[in-house]
Chains A and B, each alone.
Chain A
Amino acid sequence: MQLDSKIPSGPIEQKWDRARFEMKLVNPANKRKYSIIMVGSGLAGASGAASLGELGYNVKCFCFQDSPRRAHSIAAQGGINAAKNYQNDGDSIYRLFYDTVKGGDFRAREANVYRLAQISVSIIDQCVAQGVPFAREYGGLLSNRSFGGAQVSRTFYARGQTGQQLLLGAYQALMRQVDTGQVKMYPRTEMLDVIVIDGRARGIVTRNLATGQIEVHMADAVCLATGGYGNVFFLSTNAKGSNATAVWRAYKRGAAFGNPSFTQIHPTCIPVSGDYQSKLTLMSESLRNDGRIWVPKKTGDSRTPDQIPEDERDYYLERKYPSFGNLVPRDVASRNAKQVCDQGRGVGPGGLGVYLDFRDSINRLGEQAISERYGNLFEMYERITDENPYKVPMRIYPAIHYTMGGLWVDYQLQSTIPGLFVLGEANFSDHGANRLGASALMQGLSDGYFVIPYTIGNYLASNKFDKVDESHAEARGAVENVTSITRRLLSIKGKRTVDSFHRELGKMMWDFCGMGRNAKGLEQAIGKIRELREQYWQNVLVPGGADDLNQSLERAGRVADFFELGELMCIDALHRNESCGGHFREEYQTPEGEALRNDNEFAYAAAWEYQGQNQAPKLNKEPLEFEYVHPTQRSYK
């Protein structure tokens, strides 16, 4: 496979302008002759579908929830970055670009990141025009905060519900298009395969989740904006329904998978409380602005926090990283929490937790000020744990949160299957090996509002499209593929539930492909995952049938894909003999225990190519060049 990243030539500041000028346009009168499928209605999908509808294309939009407004993007709390420099604190497009490339530990494509930083400015304008109620100052101007390891205040937010408000803005724009008939919406519909005809994506196969009906939808181009795959770990901060099926089935049809093992582990989540636990709850990272993270100095200290005197506490982030302190990037904060817990200094049940303590800020600013900033988060914490964080320090622990990996795309967001575009968290593009806080929302909206409308036009204008319909052999083949998977899952009638398998897979992934990875563990994991997958196909118990609403069946298909993806993640993690960002290979660390990159051998994006069931995938490399931000060892000291 030939990877062509299609990065435009010229100085980085001019690349996107140049690309936009060079791209072909579809004549306004011809747009209605083209049909586009958008799978997903999160920030990327809703903003993309709405914008394409506004342009006059015929769009079909799909989501598995009962309403597009419920996509997982709704849960984002903290905020969205933009290089507006409203605070006059030294921010600029170049600085946001620089921070993102460095934060991604030099494993992202510079040109993409620069474009993202440029577009960030328009996103805020667009969202405000739609009526997104961002936080404001008394004078009526927009308010900003610093977030996730940034030294400037460039994060825009709407209380602790930024994702919700941005998504509702995009959803409302989408509903406006639905009402004009420009976009047709298919909620409660799951895409289960891509139809590739003559090497180009021409449609999808879906299952109506309410009726079980399998349908074919043909189009001139297909976009996937189906979100991340953190749920391969079973426990994560993602919504329960988030899954990899769309991207995985596209992978099996020829779309290369970029850096599958790059996973983000978020440092501030509520620790696990029992085996019944179904998901993990994130406590916004903004809490690190005023909370101090510590553990007891002594191992196995079982005293309550108020009985541990100041000089017996280890504020380990402040100690090790004096200039960033509690605000070090997520990967660094998470890894350090794991280290202190591995040393036996963790707190709470099972010793898997560290304190996030607001005592000092409450003393400094008063309870009132803290409650204004974090009131809703404190309430949420108390609702879940029954502990009052104004009085007792919060307990937090890292959890799987985001996947930087995803389908490989070029600068135009096109995968290695022509006509298949990938947007938002589902693609691999902009965050390298670690994503900075408040930049996923930015990327989703950038892809949807401002990139895909141009690049898809270029694709449509550059190609001829024969009429194809569902009677085409490839379409029938895809339907057969989908129905045979369903039939097989229902026919096994084994002894173990889907969830019990998923939990076991998740635990393996967490133990071997989580915060710390090593060659031996990964090799072991690959073998164990294969074994468990075999058992799955012999012993899973999926009740009910295919012809009506069957939540167990939905999960069974997704878990089947998680098994295969989990294996690929381990293969990717094993091949990358270096540490970078969230990918921490224990064999490769500096004497101080920081990630040790190997730029000579690994300054590339790994794009894995499917070779058939039970065949080893093929590795393709997209070399990464850093013309502007020169790779250095990241230092937050």
Chain B
Amino acid sequence: MNLTLHIWRQKNASSPGKMVRYEVKDVNPEMSVLEMLDVLNEELTLKGEDPVTFEHDCREGICGCCGFMINGVAHGPQAATTTCQLTMRHFKDGDELFLEPWRAKAFPIVKDLMVDRSALDRIIAAGGYVSAPTGSPQDANAILIAKENADLAMDAAACIGCGACVAACPNAAAALFTGAKISHLGLLPQGQPERVERALNMVAQLTVEGFGSCTNIGECEAVCPKQIHIEVISRMNADFRAASRKSRKEPYQDPSEFRRWSFGLKS
């Protein structure tokens, strides 16, 4: 099949970008969208043009590297599928595809379809963990966890951190991402001791990073390639409310400058 692509080209964060039109011929329906871009990039390279930059690594839907908007939908038309796993079977001869990067204040564009999602790492750094230093913890089977809870925790933990939820959200909120981590740990006994602080600190970091607030629109759940359920957001909200009542700590100090240092963003 032959297709017309309109791709966002932008040299770097400080230069302006624009949509550029490309024609691709003889696209094999078995290819993934990324493989189609590989073919385009080979052609561009041979023509002496700059190939299209996009993030990717595992190409099997698990690392969370890939992703851009395809005709306005994060990761494209197929539900529960990352861009790298989306095959061209879902398109037909003559289709026009508009490929654009995730757009959110918290995700500055790096180049073309690639954005900087390090804000998501800083949200985890703010509290998305259990403090269990390497050592000799108790025997693994000494902690009993009802299968139901283990399964729910796993559903939430399946998040790949791709950022599609942010890109799809009209508020550019990262509630599904943050809620997923808060749910994963909050559903397990190991996550209880730090539950209060985790909710307070992670939610505070959301604001520091410039993500919007969640207004329960649900676009995030619709595009999530791992089908994270929107109920993780209600769990986050419940934890945050309970934490705000319980916490006897000083209000959250903004550590963002320090975090930028330890992420190597600032020397």
Contacts and interface: CB of A to CB of B under 8 A. Distances in A.
A276 B31 contact: yes
B242 interface: no
A129 B59 contact: no
Contacts of A178: 125, 259, 262-263
A549 B53 contact: yes
Contacts of A453: 134
A579 to B, nearest CB: 31
B95 interface: no
A189 B111 CA distance: 16
Given A125-B138, A131-B191, A497-B42, A67 B262 contact: no
Contacts of B258: 181
B141 A552 contact: no
Contacts of A47: 134
Interface string B149-168: 01101100110110000000
Contacts of B157: 133, 158, 165, 168
A509 interface: no
B46 to A, nearest CB: 7
A126 B59 CA distance: 30
Contacts of B153: 131, 133
Interface string B126-154: 10111111111111110111110011011
B38 A176 contact: no
Interface in A202-239: 210, 239
Contact of A137 (B11, B30, B44, B147): B147
Contacts of B89: 386
Nearest to A158: B154
A209 to B, nearest CB: 9
A240 B144 contact: no
Contacts of A449: 134
Given A72-B58, A133-B184, A239-B59, A551 B130 contact: no
B50 A544 contact: yes
A173 B129 contact: yes
A335 interface: no
Contacts of A10: none
Instruction: State the majority secondary structure of interface residues on A.
Output: mixed
B130 to A, nearest CB: 5
Interface residues of A, number: 84
Contacts of B124: 69, 171-172, 175
Nearest to A551: B53
Interface in B45-73: 45-46, 48-51, 53, 55-65
B190 interface: yes
Interface string A91-127: 0000000000000000000000000000000101111
A604 interface: no
Contact of A164 (B62, B85, B135, B140): B62
Contacts, number: 235
B208 interface: no
B57 A241 contact: yes
B121 A69 contact: yes
Given A124-B140, A185-B264, A278 B35 contact: yes
Contacts of B259: 178-179
A273 interface: yes
Given A126-B132, A129-B138, A142-B140, A136 B145 contact: yes
A548 B112 CA distance: 13
B261 interface: yes
B7 interface: no
B110 interface: yes
A238 B76 CA distance: 24
Interface in A56-111: 65-70, 72, 74-75, 84, 86
13 contacts: A47-B134, A72-B57, A72-B58, A74-B62, A130-B129, A131-B130, A134-B140, A136-B146, A172-B130, A181-B261, A210-B110, A495-B46, A552-B51
Interface of B: 11-12, 28, 30-32, 34-35, 38-39, 42, 44-46, 48-51, 53, 55-65, 78, 81, 85, 87, 89, 110-111, 114, 116-118, 120-121, 124-126, 128-141, 143-147, 150-151, 153-154, 157-158, 160-161, 184-185, 188, 190-191, 255, 258-259, 261-264
Given A173-B134, A239-B59, 14 more contacts: A54-B134, A122-B136, A130-B190, A131-B184, A131-B191, A136-B150, A171-B124, A176-B131, A185-B264, A274-B30, A278-B35, A450-B134, A541-B45, A541-B46
